[in-house]
Amino acid sequence: SDFISDYKASLAAAAAAKVYFVGGTEAISAANYTALTTMMTTAGDTTPPTFSRLSGADRYATAAAVYAKGPAAFGDKVIVVSGESWADGVSAAALSAESGWPVVLQTKNGNNASAKASIDAYLALPASTKSFVIVGGEAAISTDTEEYLINTKGVPIANIRRIAGSDRYDTSMKVNLYADAQNIGGIDLVQVALVSGESPWDALAASSWAAAKDAAVQLSPAAG
């Protein structure tokens, strides 16, 4: 509510402000949705914000709903991360925001139906380069994903890159070094947000700041 109080004037001033609630009623209740939309609406505003809930039956379907709200043509790659643990997805957040590459959540084994739907939608785009970045080792995302891309969808092996380290901290570092080497979105490691690698909340809060500042987000242990 403090954030809304600070930001409400900007919403009122915008001609076509959009607010997205990500997650179903188990994540953000209907009552909270109503209360928050009411708080964000200014009396007399002739162009009030539009509110949408992006959700699905599970986290994979919710991620697919977020993907579907993206632009008609994304950047030249799709990022695939584990939907069973949060660390690699958090490490990829700034990379996604800076590059414009969407994030697809995937199960460790097999190919989740929602993940496949997003991947197939990307591959169907006329401008698709059929390029993918998988963040995390095979303990997080097995080779089932590569096999689907290569054997079923005809994606060239050279168009699939896996970024993985010995642990979540090493993977986070490798993602940042990759972004720097590729000069993605201006990420140059001049600014780095150090966040906990033991819980996701601070890293999630830092991701949008990092994207705005062309900064990297690096997972760090609480001690050591």
pLDDT tens digits, residue range 41-91?
A: 999 999 999 999 999 999 999 999 999 987 656 568 999 999 999 999 999
State mean pLDDT over 138-147.
97
pLDDT value, residue 224: 86
Residue 187 confidence (pLDDT): 83
Q: What is the pLDDT of residue 211?
A: 85
What span, in angstroms and rounded, lies between the C-alpha atoms of 18 and 108?
34
DSSP code for 58: S
Residue 195 phi, psi (nearest 5): -130, 160
Task: Give residue-wise pLDDT tens across range 3-33.
Answer: 899 999 999 999 889 999 999 999 999 999 9
Q: What local confidence, expressed as pLDDT, does residue 185 receive?
A: 77
* Residue pair 78/42 in contact by the 8 Å Cβ criterion: no
Sign for the CA dihedral angle at 183, 187, 192, 198 comes to: negative
Calculate the average pLDDT of the chain. 92
Report the C-alpha dihedral over residues 180, 158, 148, 137, rounded to 10 degrees: -40
Confidence of residue 92 (pLDDT cuts 50, 70, 90): very high
